[in-house]
Structure 1
Amino acid sequence: MAVRKGSTLRAQWLGKQLRELRESAKLTLKDAGDYIQRDPSSLSRMEQGITPMRVPDVLTLLNLYGVSDARLRDGLERLSRDIWQKNWWDGYSDVFTGRIIDHAWLESRAQRLRSYDAMVVPGLLQTRRYAEAVIGAADPHKPKERIARWAEFRLHRQRVLSGDCPLRLSVILDEAVFYRAVGGPEVLRDQLGHLVDLAQCSTISIRVLPFRAGVGASPEGPFTIFDMPDPYPDVAYIETRAGALYVEGDEAAGFAHAYASLDETALAPDESVAFIRNAAEQTI
């Protein structure tokens, strides 16, 4: 689903789950609205994710709908608190749209992230200079101060890769990524060295998809899969010029199958590290 303007993925997920629970309880919008002292149109906007739902209303509705599963209740309560809780990315809300804030939130909640990239190194693995070069290339007219702000945000996102419970990250990179001189040879060489260092981490897997593998399982381009804990659905993310697209359920499963096919044809981890080292040495 495309995230609505003014809404967040979190609010849409919560609203969708509560709508399904209400319908399962065979209650109308008026029934539920009267119970929490909201008119039906207000509750409808909440279920659509247009208006964020407050935690007391969520807990009251869960009681009305007869939800006794502790895991589901805890998950939905946490999701409702996430909608309102301030976090580090709120310091960038004056610069970024909701789609990238949603992306950072997904990274903070995911159990594992899998991605396939064919053009550039993904943001979670970028050095500052490489990030600034990618951001600047996307919008050559962006002021240097704004580029620096974007790069700072991207580096802050990388904190999910460290700490007590780091995100498990599996990345497949097309061979072309290692020869595309983003920012010039020196920037690329430093970036490739950074990848070699990151590949030593037990929670990070970096694999190379060689040219000989052919067109691969994703000729449409890059994608990211977020493996989420309950009650969140697993999500596939695709970046487009028209905005971010998030898909769930069977559609997300299709991306998981594509990733599995790419994984079968990618170089082994040790071979990939050797390939990246060699590419760095050839960068002049």
Structure 2
Amino acid sequence: MSAAQPSSDPSLRRYLDHPRGGPTVLRIVLGTQLRRLRESAGITREAAGHTIRASHAKISRLELGRVSCKERDVADLLTLYGVTDSAARATFLTLARRTSTPGWWHQYNDVLPSWFETHLGLESAASVIRTYEVQFVPGLLQTAEYARAVAQLGHPTATAEETEQRVGLRMERQRLLALPDAPRLWAILDEACLRRPLGGPEVMPGQLRYLIETARLPNVTLQVAPFALGGHAAAGGPITILRFMEPDLPDIVYLEQLTSALYLDKRDDVDHYLAVMDRLSAQAESPRESLLILERLLKQES
């Protein structure tokens, strides 16, 4: 094994044996490992790009896990970085091959924006998901009827088939919470999204009942930020923070916009949003009191 050979080969094997998160996570892991190898070898992005007949910008995207990579390119980079051990190279090349494997969400590609695919992969791999919502109930906690109303609101010209595909995608996402190694979901809901009668009076009672049921799951913590709270730390809008057990995956802040999303992983940015979520969770009602609020709202809707 050369001096540049990574010591985390067993870690890479774990990702191959248990590819939770699909190609999204595999791309990030592979990119992180390749960046470490390049830096350890003292090689610039420009030199690495020249080796695979690409620009330094492509190397940057590859190392950030934004793009899949060809096996030939990875093989050339491993040679450049001094990785000669055959077993290690085989693991890297298998990882590269699997970054192009479609995720479970591939069947919904007709209605799935490319910027949201990354979120689905990260969500599937997360060990903790912290989220704050102000306008809608979080997607992981929506009933099919509520999800349908959200889809029709956001895509008023969509066909009935496209709407049902969007609903199906949302329901498929929720299977995550029932897995044996399900992540912990910690959701803070602004009172506004609970009182807004999305889908009409026949939809909200079912949505509230579902929130009450889900809030009792051992891996779900639900808090309500009431109107009486006034202004609060998360005044800027919805926030989701994803945390992972894997050392190669940093905490990531997901900020969804109307037609795009931001993914923040710089430590300063993540720390800022973590502090915001911590303050908000301290200001919001306790899980026990939040459950009572939901029950009171359900009585008002019934």
Q: Compute the TM-score of the two structures, normalised by the length of structure 2.
A: 0.79
Residue 267 (structure 2) pairs with residue 253 (structure 1): no
Q: 1:29 to 1:142 in 2, by over 3 A?
A: same
Output the CA distance in 2 between the equivalents of 1:159 and 1:77.
31
Whole-Å separation in 1 of the counterparts to 2:301 and 2:286: 22
Partner of 1:185: helix, strand, or coil?
coil
2:293 alignment partner, one of 267, 271, 275: 275
Give the count of matched residue pairs.
270
**CA distance in structure 2 between the partners assigned to 1:173 and 1:98 by the alignment:** 27
| AA partner of residue 125 (structure 2) | R
1:16–1:47 Cα contact (<8 Å) kept:
no
Aligned pair partner of 2:125 in 81, 85, 109: 109
Change (3 A) 1:226 1:63: farther
In structure 1, distance between residues paired with 2:92 and 2:137: 34
SS of residue paired to 1:93: helix
- d(CA) in 1 for partners of 2:133, 2:214: 17
Native 8 Å contact 2:45 2:59 kept in 1: no
What displacement does 1:167 show?
A: 1.5
User: Structure 1 residues 90 and 258 mapped into 2: Cα distance closer, same or farther (>3 Å)?
Assistant: same
CA–CA distance in 1 between the matches of 2:188 and 2:93? 35
Q: Which amino acid aligns with 1:53?
A: C
Which residue of structure 2 aligns with residue 230 of structure 1? 247
Does residue 48 of the first structure (1) align with residue 65 of the second (2)?
Answer: no
Structure 1: gaps spanning 5 or more residues: 1-7, 68-72
2:43 to 7, 20, 27: 27
SS in 1 for 2:264: strand
Shift of 1:32: 4.0
Cα distance, 1:78–1:243 mapped onto 2, change above 3 Å? farther
Q: Cα distance, 1:156 vs. partner? A: 0.3
Question: Hey, what's the Cα distance between the residues in 2 that align with 1:79 and 1:129?
Answer: 39
Which runs of 5 or more residues in structure 2 are unaligned?
A: 1-23, 84-88
- The Cα shift of 1:213 comes to 1.7
Helix, strand or coil for the counterpart of 2:203?
A: helix
Is the Cα contact below 8 Å between 1:236 and 1:255 reproduced in 2? yes
Q: Which residue does the alignment assign to 1:145?
A: 161
TM score, norm. by length of structure 1: 0.83
The Cα of 1:20 is off from its aligned counterpart by 5.8
Change (3 A) 1:47 1:216: same
Shift of 1:31: 5.0
Distance 1:202 1:95, change over 3 A: same
The DSSP-based 3-state class of the residue aligned with 2:110 is coil
- Tell me the residue number matched to 1:100: 116
After the TM superposition, which residues 48-87 of structure 1 pair with which residues of structure 2 at under 5 Å, given as runs? 48-49=61-62, 52-54=68-70, 57-58=73-74, 61=77, 64-65=80-81, 80=96, 83-87=99-103
Distance 1:30 1:260, change over 3 A: closer
CA deviation digits over 1:63-110, x for unaligned, max 9? 75468xxxxx9x988974552223311111233121121111011111
Structure 1 window deviating more from structure 2 (123-132 vs 18-27): it is 18-27
Comparing 90-99 with 221-230, which one deviates more in the overlay? 90-99
Residue 221 of structure 2 aligns with an amino acid whose one-letter code is S
Equivalent positions of 1:150-189 (< 5 A) are 150-189=166-205
Greater relative contact order (CA < 8 Å, ≥ 6 in sequence): 1
Q: Secondary structure at the match of 1:257?
A: helix
Q: CA RMSD in A?
A: 3.0
